[in-house]
Amino acid sequence: MIMSKETLIKSIREIPDFPIPGILFYDVTTLFKDPWCLQELSDVMFDMYKDKGITKVIGIESRGFIMGPILATRLNAGFVPIRKPGKLPAETLEASYDKEYGKDTVQIHKDALDENDVVLIHDDLLATGGTMKAACELVKMLKPKKVYVNFIIELKDLNGKAVFGDDVEVESVLTL
């Protein structure tokens, strides 16, 4: 079954005033629970990156931990988590960032990547880009060959792509 992007978009649950008043939250778990949507997301993202030489897929806590490993398996790549502080057991690097409704910090293991890696960083949604920008900063500290960034959804009106430099290719499956 081949789905349209419109079908995928219609499958996303919208939750007003979450996690705080004034935020419209796009819940991608509705895409994950539908086997057809999950397969379509997997197929589309695989097609986007199958010829890029990806050696590591990095997922950002927590929704990046769902499609990230699926994509890593399909690309014959390793999976690396970027997590909130205190969750990774070995030595880490960290970066802090502002988000739409607060401040946060993310960490990666210091030995997660090397200069031979071609990296794809994945998360569910691009809003203002703060979380992914911090993740990119962490990844770049480890000096991989190339960095790609991927989202399931981009909220185009928030112009989150503008926070990334020209050295990072940013793509989304869906644009709202």
User: Which residue out of 63, 115, 137, 154 is catalytically annotated?
Assistant: 63
Choosing from 100, 154, 169, 171, the catalytic residue is 100
Q: Is 83 a catalytic residue?
A: no
Distance of CA 146 to the CA centre of its chain: 16
Q: Which positions ≥6 away from 146 have C-beta within 8 Å?
A: 52, 53, 118, 119
Known catalytic residue at 100: yes
Are 67 and 75 spatial neighbours (Cβ–Cβ below 8 Å)?
Answer: no
Query: Which residues form the catalytic set?
Result: 63, 100
